[in-house]
């Protein structure tokens, strides 16, 4: 028989319960004291913070954009204006449901016309699910995994809604034309945030429709009639540089939305998206109207307070006079049509000219004609002056001499032998004097006669390998020498951005891969490509003795007068110096004297004397012909000029590019340059 083990009786400690209760009470007291301390901190020490937090929790601010400023030419003629019209607007309450919006859209459709009924599948789905009963049924029909996660917890409402949208088949969303109109109105209202106001796009309203909508405010909550503006760019050669403004539907550009929101913009705000409209967005946008909406304890709107009134944006006045701009384009068109008639411009893509004030950087004209080589049509192309690139030819030779002086390859007006230059039996690089034999010429004469071989010898000496017949070539310094040559060119704006007050311009085309031959031909403008604007900046930099100024289109920012037009000057656009060419005054004077001799030299080898024929004031220039080819391998040239006038007190600098002219002796760019300067002289006497 198993022995029964007796349990030892447990002794009860009568003192353990009071000790535990005391500890519990002490813990509760500590918690209570902590709570009192926290309340004291909130109500006494940090009272202002929490009072402000409570106040802002019951308030919300709404901003509304104002009418944009306008853009005028130098004489005050409008280049872009605002047109106004009566439109439907919608202010969204925070209590409005999707069903409310749907009902309002249907009612509004009875009062207005809607032609644009292009809707997306998602927009159709949002409209379909706006009915709460329909949405509940669609959600009820979803598989369990589309409503709950693996732990059985309900998915976020946004995820469930997305799954509901994806579950709809196209048959349910096959709306007819009338329903699509309602969908269009609904989705515009649904895209407007709580308390904000947006324009609802409809067909243009008739006076009767305006009256009907205005009188239906009780049955159309949030709907009213307001005045909206639209942007109208005046038809002119400058239209392309004005740029564009987003629609209210498009709102802020997706790639810049975060930056704009940080600046206080709303998603549906209209902003400049290109060129002047974009570059001067902050100026043109104007002051935004701000309203403060006060909410009661239930979140309902209690009152609205106007914090600040909106103000029309400031205006821009440009440096370009539209009359002169039109005149320059007329000159280009006249000469281009003449070359077309002669059969010389069949393959040319157009003709371009830029005029600058060399003393301020102000742009006087950005003129271009684009030639459709298939149809033969000519169209204005001002933008091409800063986006299209061309082989410049010999116009760059002043910059090549600069590279020689800066890198100790030549000194002053150094004499070199103009002679055919060849390597290893290849085709020689020649100049004017090949048929007459070699001769010594100075740096100044190298500009006047446009000597290629002088420039090649400068480039060779920059490599540390002066030219001699049957010389051995050393390419160790090729890359560094090209870098130095391009650096000197960039001091004049060649191959680098000019700094124009537009968000987009080409920096030119400078191939990274090049050969020894490319380096040599680049010294006389036969490799790298530049824009007409870069060449004009080069001419202006020579004209003002080596100071490179950023070109600018805007002369100043102006207020509005009582009629909303061009008012008083607020801020004048100041000249911006980018750099100074790093050569002596004596060397710069040699370039300027050489440019003068190009036009007025007495030698039979002088290259630009046709410019002087009929000049109203003395013109200094450098001409250039870049060898190119067109369809079928036919030889052609880019006939180019950079110039300034008057020679002794420059007030206008010009660059002209006429590419792919099949007349290999064409000097049409010379005549264009002279006529542009003469035209400017007529309205702005230069002597």
pLDDT in tens, 22-39: 777 777 787 777 777 666
Burial 22-31 (b: 16+ CB within 10 A, else e): eeeeeeeeee
Whether the CB-CB separation of 526 and 627 falls below 8 Å is answered with yes
pLDDT > 70: percent of the chain: 91
Residue 601 clears pLDDT 50, i.e. is over it? yes
Lookup result for tokens 């009767």: 208
pLDDT of residue 5: 46
* Residue from 450, 445, 452, 448 nearest 598 by CA: 448
Q: What is the reported pLDDT for 4?
A: 47
**At residue 510, does pLDDT exceed 90?**
yes
Contact (CB, 8 A) for 508 and 396? no
> Could you give the CA distance from residue 300 to residue 293 in angstroms, rounded to a whole number?
10
- In the three-class reduction of DSSP (H, G, I as helix; E, B as strand; rest coil), residue 578 is classed as strand
Instruction: State the chain's mean pLDDT as an integer.
Output: 89
**Over residues 204-212, mean pLDDT:** 91
**How long, in residues, is the chain?**
687
What's the pLDDT at 62? Answer: 64
Three-class HEC string of 395-455: HHHHHHHHHHHHCCCCCCCCCEEECCECCCCCCCECCHHHHHCCEEECHHHHHHHCCHHHH
Q: What is the DSSP letter of 2?
A: P
Q: Which residues pair with 641 in a beta bridge?
A: 623, 656
pLDDT per residue as tens digits for the range 358-398: 999 999 999 999 999 999 999 999 999 999 999 999 999 99
Give the whole-angstrom CA distance, residue 246 versus residue 235.
19
**Domains of the chain, start order:** 93-191 (1.10.10.1230), 323-546+581-683 (3.40.710.10)
User: Does the pLDDT value for residue 482 go beyond 90?
Assistant: yes
What percentage of the chain exceeds 90 in pLDDT?
66
The pLDDT value given to residue 428: 86
User: Among residues 191, 215, 192, 189, which one has the least CA distance to residue 202?
Assistant: 189
8-state DSSP, 467? -
What mean pLDDT do residues 533-542 have?
98
Closest C-alpha among 326, 328, 318, 322 to residue 363: 318
Cα Rg of the chain, angstroms: 37
d(CA 500, CA 253): 23
Q: What are the two backbone dihedrals, phi and then psi, of residue 123, each rounded to the nearest 5 degrees?
A: -65, -40
Quote the CA–CA distance of 471 and 474 in Å, as a whole number. 10
Give the whole-angstrom CA distance, residue 532 versus residue 351: 10
C-alpha torsion 579→582→585→591, nearest 10: -90
Q: Look-up: residue for tokens 């030639």?
A: 371
Reading the block at residue 686, the tokens are: 């230069």
**Measured distance CA(394)–CA(392) in Å, rounded:** 7
H or E segment and range at residue 231: strand 223-233
pLDDT value at position 49? 58
Looking at the DSSP bridge assignments, the partners of residue 557 are: 316, 571
pLDDT of residue 251: 83
Q: What is the pLDDT of residues 145-155, one digit of tens each?
A: 898 988 889 99
Give pLDDT, residue 194: 82
Does the structure show a pLDDT above 60 at 53?
Answer: no
Burial 658-685 (b: 16+ CB within 10 A, else e): bbbbbeeebbbbbbbbbbbbbbbbeeee
Active site residue 394: yes
Let me know: does 615 contact 609? Beta carbons within 8 Å: no
pLDDT score, position 237: 93
Amino acid 416: pLDDT: 96
Residue 66: count of CB within 10 angstroms of its CB: 17
Report if pTM > 0.85. no
| Residue 63 structure tokens | 């901003």
The secondary structure of 313-381 as a DSSP string is PPEEEES--HHHHHHHHHHHHHHHHHHHHTTSSTT--EEEEEEE-TTT-BEEEEEEEEE-TTT--EEE-
pLDDT digits (tens, 9 = 90+) for 627-663: 999 988 899 999 999 999 999 999 999 999 999 999 9
Q: What gap in Å lies between CA 344 and CA 564, rounded to an integer?
A: 50
**163 CB-side CA count, 13 A:** 18
Q: Is 190 helix (H, G, I), strand (E, B) or coil?
A: helix
Task: Assess whether pLDDT exceeds 70 at residue 1.
Answer: no
**Alpha carbon distance 416, 400 (integer Å):** 14
Weakest mean pLDDT among 207-216, 347-356, 402-411, 575-584? 207-216
Q: How many CB atoms lie within 10 A of CB 441?
A: 23
- Contact between 462 and 481 under an 8 Å Cβ cutoff? The reply is yes
| Residue with the two structure tokens 């029909």 | 141
Using CA atoms, how far apart are residues 203 and 114, in angstroms rounded to an integer? 5
Q: Which of 421-430, 541-550, 568-577 has the least mean pLDDT?
A: 421-430
Alpha-carbon span 192 to 92, nearest angstrom: 7
* Number of continuous H segments (helices) and E segments (strands) in the chain: 23, 20
Q: What is the DSSP letter of 509?
A: B
The catalytic residue among 394, 481, 523, 669 is 394
Confidence of residue 296 (pLDDT cuts 50, 70, 90): low
pLDDT at 435: 63
- Is the distance from CB of 630 to CB of 662 less than 8 angstroms? yes
Token readout for 564 is 């909303």
User: What's residue 126's pLDDT?
Assistant: 93
For residues 109 and 117, is the Cβ–Cβ distance under 8 A? no
pLDDT of residue 247: 83
Q: How far is CA 576 from CA 183, 544, 550, in A?
A: 53, 14, 6
At 3, the pLDDT band (50, 70, 90 cuts) reads: very low
* Burial class for 65, CB neighbours closer than 10 Å (0-12, 13-18, 19+): buried
Spatial separation of the C-alpha atoms in residues 64 and 87, rounded to whole Å: 16
CB atoms within 10 A of CB 165: 17
Q: For residue 51, what pLDDT band results from cuts at 50, 70 and 90?
A: low
Q: Is 49 exposed, middle or buried (0-12, 13-18, 19+ CB in 10 A)?
A: exposed
Strand-pair partners of 61 = 292
Q: How do residues 255-274 score in pLDDT, each as one tens digit?
A: 898 898 888 887 778 899 99
Q: Is the pLDDT of residue 2 over 50?
A: no
Report residue 44's pLDDT band, with 50, 70 and 90 as the boundaries: low
Token look-up 């009272």 returns 47
Q: How far apart are CA 66 and CA 284, in angstroms?
A: 10
Lowest mean pLDDT segment, chosen from 316-320, 423-427, 592-596:
423-427
For residue 687, the model assigns a pLDDT of 83
Sign of the C-alpha dihedral, residues 471, 474, 479, 485? negative
Q: Using alpha carbons only, what angle is made at residue 477 by residues 476 and 483, rounded to the nearest 5 degrees?
A: 140
Q: Which residue from 265, 223, 231, 224 is spatially nearest to 247, judged by alpha carbons?
A: 231
- Predicted pLDDT of residue 17: 64
Tokens of residue 463, six digits: 């490599």
Contact between 462 and 409 under an 8 Å Cβ cutoff? The reply is: yes
């Amino acid at each position: 028989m198993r022995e029964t083990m007796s349990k030892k009786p447990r002794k009860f400690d009568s003192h353990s319960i009071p000790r535990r209760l005391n500890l519990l009470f002490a813990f509760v007291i500590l918690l209570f004291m902590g709570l009192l301390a926290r309340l004291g901190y909130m109500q006494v020490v940090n009272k202002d913070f929490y009072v402000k937090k409570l106040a802002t929790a019951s308030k919300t601010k709404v901003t509304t954009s104002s009418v944009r400023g306008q853009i005028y030419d130098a004489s005050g003629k409008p280049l872009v204006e605002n047109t106004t019209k009566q439109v439907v607007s919608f202010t969204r309450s925070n209590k409005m449901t999707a069903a409310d919006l749907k009902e309002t859209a249907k009612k509004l459709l009875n009062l207005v016309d809607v032609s644009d009924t292009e809707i997306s599948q998602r927009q159709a789905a949002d409209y379909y699910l706006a009915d709460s009963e329909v949405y509940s049924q669609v959600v009820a029909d979803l598989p369990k995994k589309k409503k709950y996660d693996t732990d059985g917890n309900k998915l976020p409402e946004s995820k469930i809604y997305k799954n509901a949208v994806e579950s709809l088949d196209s048959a349910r969303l096959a709306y007819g034309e009338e329903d699509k109109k309602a969908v269009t109105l609904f989705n515009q209202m649904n895209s407007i945030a709580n308390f904000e106001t947006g324009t609802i796009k409809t067909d243009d309203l008739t006076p009767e429709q305006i009256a009907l909508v205005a009188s239906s405010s009780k049955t159309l909550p949030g709907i009213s009639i307001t005045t909206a503006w639209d942007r109208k760019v005046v038809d002119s050669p400058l239209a392309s540089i004005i740029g564009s403004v987003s629609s209210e539907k498009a709102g802020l550009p997706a790639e810049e939305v975060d930056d704009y929101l940080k600046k206080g913009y709303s998603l549906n705000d209209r902003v400049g998206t290109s060129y002047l409209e974009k570059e001067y967005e902050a100026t043109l946008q104007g002051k935004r109207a701000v309203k403060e909406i006060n909410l009661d304890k239930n979140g309902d709107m209690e009152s609205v307070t106007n914090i600040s009134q909106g103000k029309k944006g400031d205006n821009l006045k440009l440096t370009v006079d539209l009359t002169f701009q039109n005149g320059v384009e007329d000159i280009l068109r006249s000469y281009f049509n003449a070359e077309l008639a002669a059969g010389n411009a069949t393959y040319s893509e157009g003709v371009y000219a830029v005029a600058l004030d060399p003393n301020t950087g102000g742009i006087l004209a950005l003129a271009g004609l684009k030639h459709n080589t298939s149809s033969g049509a000519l169209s204005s192309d001002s933008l091409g002056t800063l986006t299209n690139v061309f082989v410049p030819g010999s116009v760059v030779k002043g910059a090549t001499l600069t590279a020689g002086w800066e890198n100790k390859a030549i000194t002053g007006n150094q004499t070199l032998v103009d002679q055919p230059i060849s390597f290893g039996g290849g085709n020689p690089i020649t100049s004017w004097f090949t048929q007459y034999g070699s001769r010594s010429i100075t740096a100044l004469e190298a500009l006047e006669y446009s000597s290629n071989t002088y420039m090649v010898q400068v480039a060779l000496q920059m490599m540390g390998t002066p030219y001699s017949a049957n010389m051995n070539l050393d390419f160790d310094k090729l890359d560094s020498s090209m870098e130095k040559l391009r650096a000197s060119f960039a001091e004049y704006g060649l191959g680098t951005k000019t700094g124009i007050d537009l968000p987009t311009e080409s920096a030119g085309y400078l191939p990274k891969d090049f050969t020894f031959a490319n380096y040599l031909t680049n010294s006389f403008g036969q490799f790298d490509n530049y824009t007409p604007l870069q060449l004009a900046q080069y001419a202006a930099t020579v004209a003002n003795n080596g100071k490179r100024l950023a070109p600018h289109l805007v002369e100043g920012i102006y207020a509005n007068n009582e009629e909303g037009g061009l008012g008083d000057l607020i801020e004048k656009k100041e000249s911006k110096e980018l750099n100074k060419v790093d050569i002596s005054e004596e060397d710069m004077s040699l370039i300027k004297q050489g440019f003068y001799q190009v036009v007025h030299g007495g030698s039979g080898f002088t290259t630009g004397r046709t410019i002087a024929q009929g000049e109203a004031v003395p013109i200094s220039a450098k001409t250039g012909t870049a060898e190119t080819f067109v369809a079928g391998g036919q030889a052609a040239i880019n006939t180019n000029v950079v110039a300034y006038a008057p020679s002794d007190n420059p007030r206008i600098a010009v660059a002209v590019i006429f590419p792919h002219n099949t007349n290999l002796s064409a000097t049409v760019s010379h005549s264009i340059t002279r006529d542009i300067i003469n035209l400017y002289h007529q309205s702005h006497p230069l002597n």
